[in-house]
Amino acid sequence: MAQKEFAGQLIDVNEEGYFTNPQQWNREVAAAVAKEEGLDLTDNHYAILEFLRNRYNSGEALSIRSINKSGIVDVKEFYSLFPGAPLKKSTKIAGIPKPSSCI
């Protein structure tokens, strides 16, 4: 298992950089991961990250559709908050495994 330093903490990650221990996540670590991804986090980013973490922790499937139904942001805003591959990028910053729907 690999480790990477974010915000002065050693975080267990897989070969793609996703956390293998979601308990190591906090807002400071999220901000450091986001910075590496070229993002500065806002309150909307954190709201999405918390939503994703809560869904993951409750065993619910993660999808872009669920983001749209969240009431936090619509799909267009989700893509603008996490440009490129929004679900992959947001789950990485949220400290949870990459969804199986992402290749």
Residues acting as catalytic residues: 102
HEC-encoded secondary structure of 64-101: HHHHHHCCCCCHHHHHHHCCCCHHHHHHHHCCCCCCCC
